[in-house]
Structure 1
Amino acid sequence: MKKHIGFLSFGHWTPSPQSQTRSASDVLLQSIDLAVAAEEAGADGAYFRVHHFARQLASPFPLLAAIGAKTSRIEIGTGVIDMRYENPFYMTEDAGAADLISGGRLQLGLSRGSPEQVVDGWRYFGYAPAEGETEQDMARRHTQVFLDLLRGEGFAQPHPRPMFPNPGGLLRLEPHSEGLRERIWWGAGSVATAQWAAHLGMHMQTSTLKQDEGGQPLHIQQAEQIRAFKQAWKEAGHAYEGRSSVSRSIFPIVNDLDRAYFGRDRDQTDQFGHIDSYRAVFGRSYAAEPDKLIEQLRADEALAEADTLLLTVPNQLGVDYCAHVIETFVKDVAPGLGWR
């Protein structure tokens, strides 16, 4: 079965001499170059993490629009946008514009948020939970407003003497991109949130971190999560097909540079720990020669269940090296798994 293979970049930068990305400008421009290189290498997607108050990528839409203008085939997305920080109305306009520039290739991953650099950072953006709400409830409320706006239905009363002529009836936000509502994803950290996303018609993203719901290895818990998502999607009866993605740190070792970077990688088992108030399972990394990787990845139950794999790339090692990792996986590993 052909599987969608993309990359996921956290967009780190640091002024360290060891980093190939020493400024925000470096990261933004290199992200565009990496997306172009990934498309040329045969990958299917370019995805970017969104973090605020950090030396990482933050505002995604200018970057997504630029990549959309420079590429022609790959999906372009996020993994994920923290909806505690978002104005759904402004976000609808930005997303519509970026999707139109790309020709309808946006795949937007959203979430309720994760641990961050500052305390209650969303308050600095002017947002606060309503009475009786948690910050997670607020994120889900913002998300549902966003989903409703993406339908493109009119809701605003037009001015009786407008500056420019209006179409008849209530007005919607513009530019509207038809079909974008069916390309929204939710970063689900548990079975329950995966089911919630499915009922709302959002596809599911799951990363290398998940709420521990039983003590099993990450890939087994994620496989159960994806199966629950698929069942909930079927029950919801959506007119379009539901999708699921998993993120993995996978490094094929084919030369001395790969060996120097990842040949001594010790993160070969899952780890369990606590984030905020819950226990979490952190996924292992994979680093080996292609034939060994094929054998290891065949045992990953979540990869078997998902239709999309996002390779987390070490963006500070530069465009050439990250493109090498992606191309090596696509050409030397994916065919052995039956994905190409």
Structure 2
Amino acid sequence: MKKIGFLSFGHWSNHPAYNAQTASDTLLQSIDLAVAAEEIGLDGAYFRVHHFASQLASPFPLLSAIGAKTSKIEIGTGVIDMRYENPMYMVEDAGAADLISGGRLQLGISRGSPEQVIDGWRYFGYEPEAGESEVDMGRRKALEFLDLLNGEGFAHPNPNPMFPNPPGLLRLEPYSEGLRERIWWGAGSNATAVWAAENGMYLQSSTLKNDEGGKPFHVQQAEQIRLYKEAWKKAGHAREPRVSVSRSIFALVTDQDRYYFGQEADRRDKVGMIEPGKRAIFGRSYAAEPDQLIKELAQDEAIQDADTLLLTIPNTLGVDYNVHVLSSILEHVAPGLGWR
């Protein structure tokens, strides 16, 4: 069995061909898609977080709404850029969303990637500390967030409070027990995957990572997963590790599918510079008739090594078409690969 979820970038644009033309369209359709995904048997609904863009940016209201309208599906992010976050406020928001969902949050966080504006986190009021890089700042905030999720008291109570306090130091509320164990780290390199394991976070690995050896993307990603699992075991964590990978996968079963994605069939990995001095490799998309798709996906080493697969979806094409895309994978592809 492999958990299968969707990952939405939450785009919208005032384009005549788009079903999601406004932020309201995207938010409401995201809720509807998560509800429909649960009904067809999908395991997860995940959303990207990008600031200063016509994409989803504030995940907790959306996750809370989905949590209130569903009962089984995992709900998560991929990923929240910690450079933009106040860890204390985030603990409160995440705790509330997790309690509303009944403990189904699977939060993906990371130090972040290049954004729409230069140093966008500065506009949010954040600056690296002395001698600290923006990367260091993101990781520091992540560790603070993890520590606060443990629920230990740290704040001295007012001797004359408005409401009675429990004894001892106070923690942030609402507290959701178990959420600390459902935090994932979006790792772009082998080293950060090891760091995530050492700090007890699950691993999210997308279709982009640092090019560390020139091998095909899925081979490099499988190596990253292996190093992560070794580090997790060495760290001695009591629970089992989890690993997700994301892929663009389309089963061509209708003429509409072929029209939209038939040109993706010959895609290959690409190499480029995601930021100055950092060579990155971008994984290929998959689009083929189901029988051919099964053969191609069976050769993807990283998918085989992951317990969770996140299918990136074209959210602008609307809820009904995306339900079709996801249903096609569940019906025509997953059984042939032993995922269902």
Bigger Cα displacement from structure 2, 61-70 vs 257-266? 257-266
Is 1:333 aligned to 2:333, yes or no? yes
Amino acid aligned to 2:327 = E
What percentage of residue pairs aligned between the two structures are identical? 73
Q: Number of aligned pairs?
A: 339
8 Å CA contact retained: 2:75, 2:105? yes
Q: Deviation of residue 264 (structure 1)? A: 2.0
DSSP-derived class of the 1:117 partner: coil
1:290-329 matches, cutoff 5 A: 290-329=290-329
1:170-209 matches, cutoff 5 A: 170-209=169-208
Aligned equivalents of 1:323, 1:218: Cα separation in 2: 28
Deviation digits for residues 235-284 of structure 1 (CA, Å, limit 9, x no counterpart)? 11112111000000000011111011111225521001111120000110
Amino acid aligned to 1:215 = G
Q: Deviation of residue 336 (structure 1)? A: 0.5
Bigger Cα displacement from structure 2, 74-83 vs 232-241? 232-241
Bigger Cα displacement from structure 2, 177-186 vs 236-245? 236-245
**Aligned twin of 2:70:** 71
Q: Deviation of residue 37 (structure 1)? A: 0.8
Amino acid aligned to 1:132 = G
1:31-50 matches, cutoff 5 A: 31-50=30-49
Q: Alignment RMSD, CA only?
A: 0.7
8 Å CA contact retained: 2:265, 2:286? no
Aligned equivalents of 1:327, 1:72: Cα separation in 2: 19
**Aligned twin of 1:210:** 209
Aligned equivalents of 1:32, 1:114: Cα separation in 2: 26
Aligned equivalents of 1:284, 1:191: Cα separation in 2: 19
DSSP-derived class of the 1:77 partner: strand
DSSP-derived class of the 1:125 partner: coil
Amino acid aligned to 1:308 = T
DSSP-derived class of the 2:248 partner: strand
User: Taking structure 1 as reference, are residues 116 and 147 closer, same or farther at Cα in structure 2, changes over 3 Å only?
Assistant: same
DSSP-derived class of the 1:137 partner: helix
1:242-253 matches, cutoff 5 A: 242-253=241-252
Deviation digits for residues 90-131 of structure 1 (CA, Å, limit 9, x no counterpart)? 000000000000000000000111111101000000000001
Aligned equivalents of 1:42, 1:336: Cα separation in 2: 17
Amino acid aligned to 1:316 = T
DSSP-derived class of the 1:265 partner: helix
Aligned equivalents of 2:12, 2:227: Cα separation in 1: 37
Amino acid aligned to 2:328 = T
Amino acid aligned to 1:92 = V
DSSP-derived class of the 1:115 partner: coil
Deviation digits for residues 278-331 of structure 1 (CA, Å, limit 9, x no counterpart)? 000011000011111110000000001100000000000111111111111011
Amino acid aligned to 1:282 = F
1:1-340 matches, cutoff 5 A: 2-265=1-264, 268-277=267-276, 278-340=278-340
Q: Deviation of residue 332 (structure 1)? A: 1.2
Aligned equivalents of 2:61, 2:322: Cα separation in 1: 22
Flag structure 2 segments of 5+ consecutive residues without an equivalent: none
Deviation digits for residues 213-235 of structure 1 (CA, Å, limit 9, x no counterpart)? 00111100000000000000001
Aligned equivalents of 2:330, 2:182: Cα separation in 1: 24
Deviation digits for residues 182-224 of structure 1 (CA, Å, limit 9, x no counterpart)? 0000000011000000000000001011100001111000000
Aligned equivalents of 2:122, 2:249: Cα separation in 1: 36
TM-score w.r.t. structure 2 length?
0.99
Aligned equivalents of 1:48, 1:232: Cα separation in 2: 27
Aligned equivalents of 2:170, 2:35: Cα separation in 1: 37
Deviation digits for residues 115-167 of structure 1 (CA, Å, limit 9, x no counterpart)? 11101000000000001100010000000000000000000000001111111
TM-score w.r.t. structure 1 length?
0.99
